[in-house]
């Protein structure tokens, strides 16, 4: 870290690789113990989750409002990917694994299989349910579409299940032309965005934890930092004493 100016994250990555190699050598009888365990690991700074502004997301959905009825299939699929990621906060892998029978239209819930093979149900807004039905009409018009109940909910123009790179490209393409979005464009940032907006709107942490499928509350608490930063900005611009830097005079 001192000589090569490497970050704590990089150093820890190197140590993890070395430790794994030493464990392998122990199994082979070359080493009696793992010397890397004696090396103290540098502390990494926790990075706060990045999120998009609500008005930027609204701009995208307003601009693409008629796509599901009149657009090309590729554009319809792109809109559906963004709608589900932003509307439910699911992970990229969870989005890809969705099937047609994952949606319960009567109860307006989405059944999602998350990490550790755990199932959870996520509420769907009436408008998102309608958009899914509109999208499925487009899928059914594809000659190569899979229309069975257990078929993928989201299908490529070739009628097969989505894959990670396809989702990443769709998100980058969709958000690339949105004013106000200049940073990283990824499915996970959409997940962070929903969590931050829910927290700002007064949703309790336990409810957000269940929605996102976190195994512990600690993973959800990181979003409180984003909300505190927003609160500080509002406080500085709106609070009477903050405007005068705490002074009682004009």
Element (H, E) at 173: helix 164-175
DSSP annotation of 71 reads S
Tell me, what's the pLDDT at 81? 96
Q: Which of 45-59, 113-127, 194-208 has the lowest mean pLDDT?
A: 45-59
State the Cα–Cα distance between residues 98 and 101, nearest whole angstrom. Answer: 8
Per DSSP (E only), the strands in 91-244 are 103-104, 109-113, 119-123
The percent of residues above 90 in pLDDT, for the chain, comes to 44
Is 53's pLDDT higher than 70?
yes
Tell me, what's the pLDDT at 182? 66
Tell me, what's the pLDDT at 163? 96
Who wins on pLDDT, 141 or 231? 141
The percent of residues above 70 in pLDDT, for the chain, comes to 84
Written as six digits, the tokens of 215 are: 């195994």
Q: Which of 21-35, 59-73, 167-181, 207-221 has the lowest mean pLDDT?
A: 207-221
Residues acting as catalytic residues? 91, 115, 188, 191, 214, 223
Residues 6+ apart with CB under 8 A from 34: 19, 22, 23, 26
pLDDT tens string 184-222? 788 888 888 888 888 877 888 888 888 888 877 777 776
The pTM score is 0.71
Q: Which of 83-92, 100-109, 194-203, 218-227 has the lowest mean pLDDT?
A: 218-227
**Mean pLDDT computed over every residue of the chain:** 84
Is 134's pLDDT higher than 90?
yes
Residue extents of the structural domains in the chain: 54-225
CATH of domain 54-225: 1.10.443.10
DSSP three-state, residue 21: helix
Backbone angles phi, psi at 213, to 5 degrees: 80, 30
Q: Which position has the token pair 């990443």?
A: 168
Tell me, what's the pLDDT at 190? 86
Task: Judge whether 78 and 174 are in contact, CB under 8 Å.
Answer: yes
Tell me, what's the pLDDT at 165? 96
Is 21's pLDDT higher than 60?
yes
Q: Which whole number is the average pLDDT over 59-80?
A: 92
Who wins on pLDDT, 77 or 230? 77
């Amino acid at each position: 870290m001192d000589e090569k100016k490497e970050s704590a994250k990089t150093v820890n990555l190197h140590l993890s690789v070395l430790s794994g190699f030493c464990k392998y050598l122990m199994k082979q009888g070359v080493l009696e113990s793992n010397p890397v365990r004696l090396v103290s690991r540098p502390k990494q700074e926790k990075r706060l989750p990045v999120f998009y502004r609500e008005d930027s997301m609204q701009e995208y959905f307003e601009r693409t409002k008629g796509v599901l009825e009149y657009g090309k299939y590729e554009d319809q699929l792109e809109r559906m990917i963004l709608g589900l990621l932003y509307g439910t906060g699911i992970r990229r892998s969870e989005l890809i694994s969705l099937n047609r029978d994952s949606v319960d239209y009567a109860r307006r819930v989405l059944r999602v299989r998350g990490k550790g093979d755990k199932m959870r149900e996520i509420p769907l807004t009436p408008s998102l349910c309608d958009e899914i039905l509109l999208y499925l009409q487009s899928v059914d018009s594809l000659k190569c579409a899979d229309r069975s109940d257990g078929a993928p909910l989201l299908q490529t123009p070739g009628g097969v299940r989505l894959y990670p790179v396809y989702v990443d490209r769709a998100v980058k393409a969709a958000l690339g032309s949105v004013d106000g979005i200049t940073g990283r464009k990824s499915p996970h940032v959409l997940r962070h965005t929903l969590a931050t907006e829910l927290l700002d709107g007064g949703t309790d942490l336990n409810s957000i934890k269940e929605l996102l499928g976190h195994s512990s509350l600690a993973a959800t608490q990181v979003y409180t930092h984003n909300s505190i930063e927003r609160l500080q900005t509002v406080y500085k611009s709106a609070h009477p004493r903050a405007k005068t830097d705490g002074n009682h005079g004009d």
